[in-house]
């Protein structure tokens, strides 16, 4: 394994001059120098490669990776068993214009691991999976309105790109869209309600025109619903004959094999997946009840897609689910994430710093400026976002790569010594940022 020897350091801290040069050059060919706007910002890096729980950037820096590709990397980068499967598949072909045994087996494994899954259908991204789930719900009910919740992100497509943090504060709405170029008519049937408020859902569903309610079971991958909330949603949607969709694109296969629905013991009608399902290969999936899923595949709801379920990504999904199904990856994640959550929490408390660490071992967030856990969109305003950004950058120059906003994902390759290294860097970074 490569060591820190090649790391470029200035005053004991990493420098990212090579990244800056490469991004400036790359910006001539790619707007902003990145292919996702969610990867822009102060901490943006240009990489050379990943290995296990480590990243190596173009400056030769070695970083412990808690960004994990924004969620997909659950087994670590390039785990040998998956590399072998994928190498074999590359020799057999990427996209064959038909189905493969791996595709069927990946879907079957999903039905084994996920409580709501009686069938699954593959797409290429989480955004596509959400669009398909919503289409199935509208096809099943003959209604149009979809209820989503304030602050919940369900992908980049126009209809769901609403109710999200607005640059100027507050949330986006039909009258205050999330991005220039968004079709105002696309959000006409999307209604945004506050989360954890069952009465608001009851009142809206009583009007009789709602096709689906969509929620992340574990909001942002670290915020638990109020006790009984998901069960309440289940009961209300069932009573009004509305499809309940859990967006498990972050929580799926990350918080455990059965995702948020297993964690909270509530089974939706449909669930959407992406990210950890294929350890980084671009995939999306909808899983759910046979009665609903059967509306596609020759039924009235159409779901085409050139790359859907291609041979390469479904081999990755089959391989990832097979490895995850053995359980030891989750033991490593629980151990690493558990140590980090309690270690970060202790360091904050010992130094009397207002802050908290919230989430589950595979996915958690560090907040500064408030001791209270975040449980609503309003609570997010109590967090000192500027201090968190400074902390994330102070960690990055110490070789620890977290997501802006203070989010950490762990994976099966986060060994004890990397966790030790992270705890030391956190202590040092805290002292620099908060004093
Ligand atoms: C909860 C949730 N839903 C949907 C998506 C969209 O997935 P993708 O970026 O693969 O389109 C994301 C992506 O971050 C997400 O976090």
pLDDT in tens, 340-393: 999 999 999 999 999 999 999 999 999 999 999 999 998 998 999 999 999 999
Q: Is 216 in the pocket of ligand 1 (CB under 6 A)?
A: yes
Q: What is the pLDDT of residue 1?
A: 39
Q: What is the pLDDT of residue 5?
A: 45
Provide, rounded to the nearest whole percent, the portion of the chain with pLDDT above 70: 97
3-class secondary structure per residue, 284-335? EEEEECHHHHCCCCCCCCCCCCCCCCCHHHHHHHHHHHHHHHHCHHHHHHHH
Q: Which residue is closest in CA terms to ligand 1's atom 6?
A: 155
Angle at CA of residue 434, ends 431 and 435, nearest 5°: 50
Residue-wise pLDDT tens digits, 119-138: 999 999 999 999 999 999 99
pLDDT at 169 over 90: no
Q: Is 215 in the pocket of ligand 1 (CB under 6 A)?
A: no
Q: Is 59 in the pocket of ligand 1 (CB under 6 A)?
A: no
User: What separation in angstroms does the CA of 367 have from each of 73, 353, 373?
Assistant: 23, 11, 8
Residues 202 and 232 in one domain: yes
Q: What is the CATH number of the domain that holds 375?
A: 3.90.1150.10
Q: What is the pLDDT of residue 3?
A: 42
Q: Determine the average pLDDT of the residues in 98-106.
A: 98
Burial class (CB in 10 A: 0-12, 13-18, 19+), 194: middle
Residues 111 and 236 in one domain: yes
Residues 313 and 381 in one domain: no
Q: Is 109 in the pocket of ligand 1 (CB under 6 A)?
A: no
pLDDT at 11 over 70: no
Residue-wise pLDDT tens digits, 280-301: 999 999 999 999 999 999 999 9
Confidence of residue 75 (pLDDT cuts 50, 70, 90): very high
pLDDT at 12 over 80: no
Q: Is 218 in the pocket of ligand 1 (CB under 6 A)?
A: no
Report the range of poorest mean pLDDT among 4-13, 108-117, 229-238. Answer: 4-13
Catalytically active residues are 153, 247, 275
Residues 111 and 205 in one domain: yes
Angle at CA of residue 318, ends 270 and 330, nearest 5°: 80
| Cα–Cα distance, 50 to 56 (Å, whole number) | 6
Angle at CA of residue 190, ends 184 and 195, nearest 5°: 130
Residues 37 and 181 in one domain: no
CA dihedral in degrees (225, 231, 235, 237; nearest 10)? 40
Residues 231 and 196 in one domain: yes
| Cα–Cα distance, 41 to 340 (Å, whole number) | 25
The alpha carbon of 399 and the centre of ligand 1 are apart by a number of angstroms equal to 27
Q: What is the pLDDT of residue 4?
A: 45
The alpha carbon of 169 and the centre of ligand 1 are apart by a number of angstroms equal to 22
Q: Which residue is closest in CA terms to ligand 1's atom 14?
A: 155
Residues 58 and 31 in one domain: yes
- Number of domains the chain is built from: 2
Q: Is 153 in the pocket of ligand 1 (CB under 6 A)?
A: yes
Q: Which residue is closest in CA terms to ligand 1's atom 7?
A: 126
Q: What is the pLDDT of residue 140?
A: 98
Residues 335 and 322 in one domain: no
339 Cα distance to chain centroid: 21
Residues 432, 362: contact at Cβ < 8 Å?
no
Q: What is the CATH number of the domain that holds 217?
A: 3.40.640.10
Q: Is 125 in the pocket of ligand 1 (CB under 6 A)?
A: yes
Residues 277 and 159 in one domain: yes
Q: Which residue is closest in CA terms to ligand 1's atom 13?
A: 155
Closest atom of ligand 1 relative to the 284 alpha carbon? 10
Residues 220 and 303 in one domain: yes
Residues 41 and 185 in one domain: no
H-run or E-run covering 235: helix 229-239
Residues 160 and 293 in one domain: yes
Residue-wise pLDDT tens digits, 304-340: 999 999 999 999 999 999 999 999 999 999 999 999 9
Both tokens of 286, joined, read: 């909808």
pTM: 0.97
Final residue before a domain boundary, out of 265, 296, 326? 326
Confidence of residue 160 (pLDDT cuts 50, 70, 90): very high
Q: Give residue 368's domain range.
A: 4-78+328-434
The alpha carbon of 126 and the centre of ligand 1 are apart by a number of angstroms equal to 5
What's the start-to-end Cα distance of the chain, in Å?
35
Is 356 in a helix, a strand, or coil? Answer: strand
Q: CA quadruple 237, 287, 126, 55: dihedral positive or negative?
A: positive
Q: What is the pLDDT of residue 9?
A: 55
- In 93-210, which residue ranges form alpha helices assigned H by DSSP? 101-113, 126-141, 198-205
Residues 98, 83: contact at Cβ < 8 Å?
no
Best substitution site from 126, 146, 178, 252 to test ligand 1's pocket, by max atoms within 8 Å of Cβ?
126
Q: What is the pLDDT of residue 266?
A: 98
Q: Which residue is closest in CA terms to ligand 1's atom 16?
A: 250
pLDDT at 156 over 90: yes
Final residue before a domain boundary, out of 268, 302, 326? 326
Q: Is 249 in the pocket of ligand 1 (CB under 6 A)?
A: yes
Final residue before a domain boundary, out of 326, 360, 395? 326
pLDDT at 216 over 90: yes
| Cα–Cα distance, 393 to 386 (Å, whole number) | 11
Q: Which residue is closest in CA terms to ligand 1's atom 3?
A: 154
């Amino acid at each position: 394994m490569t060591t820190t020897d090649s790391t470029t350091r200035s005053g004991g801290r990493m420098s990212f001059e090579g990244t800056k040069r490469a991004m400036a050059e790359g910006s001539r060919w790619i707007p902003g120098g990145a292919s996702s706007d969610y990867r822009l910002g102060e901490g943006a890096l240009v990489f050379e490669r990943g290995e296990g729980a480590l990243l190596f950037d173009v400056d030769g820096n070695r970083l412990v990776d808690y960004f994990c590709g924004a969620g997909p990397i659950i087994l670590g980068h390039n785990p040998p068993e998956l590399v072998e499967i994928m190498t074999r598949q590359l020799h057999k072909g990427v996209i064959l214009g038909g189905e493969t045994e791996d595709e069927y087996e990946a879907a079957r494994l999903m039905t084994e691991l996920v409580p709501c899954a009686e069938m699954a259908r593959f797409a290429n991204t989480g955004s596509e999976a959400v669009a398909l789930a919503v289409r199935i719900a509208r096809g099943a009910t003959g209604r149009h309105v979809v209820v989503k919740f304030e602050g919940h992100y369900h992908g980049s497509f126009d209809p769901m790109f609403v109710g999200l943090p607005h640059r100027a504060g507050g949330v986006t709405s039909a009258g205050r869209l999330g991005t220039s170029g968004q079709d105002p008519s696309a959000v006409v049937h999307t209604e945004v309600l506050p989360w954890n408020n069952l009465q608001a859902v009851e009142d809206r569903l009583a009007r009789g025109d709602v096709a689906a309610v969509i929620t992340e079971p574990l909001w942002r991958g670290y915020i638990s619903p109020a006790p009984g909330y998901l069960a309440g949603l289940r009961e209300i949607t069932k009573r009004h004959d509305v499809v309940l969709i859990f967006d498990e694109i972050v929580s799926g296969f990350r918080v455990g094999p059965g995702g948020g629905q297993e964690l909270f013991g509530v089974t939706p009608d449909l669930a959407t997946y992406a990210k950890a399902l294929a350890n980084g290969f671009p995939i999306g999936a909808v899983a759910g009840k046979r009665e609903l899923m059967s509306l596609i595949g020759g039924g009235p709801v159409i779901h085409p897609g050139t790359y859907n379920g291609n041979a390469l990504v479904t081999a990755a999904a089959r391989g990832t689910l097979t490895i995850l199904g053995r359980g030891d990856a989750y033991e490593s994640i629980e151990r690493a994430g558990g140590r980090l959550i309690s270690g970060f929490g202790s360091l904050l408390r010992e130094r009397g710093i207002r802050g908290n660490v919230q989430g589950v071992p595979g996915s958690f967030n560090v907040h500064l400026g408030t001791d209270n856990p975040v449980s609503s969109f309003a609570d997010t305003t109590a967090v000192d976002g500027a201090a968190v950004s400074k902390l994330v950058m102070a960690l990055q120059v110490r070789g620890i790569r977290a997501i802006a906003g203070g989010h950490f994902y762990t994976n099966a390759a986060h060994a004890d010594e990397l966790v030790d290294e992270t705890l030391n860097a956190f202590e040092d970074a805290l002292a620099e940022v908060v004093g």
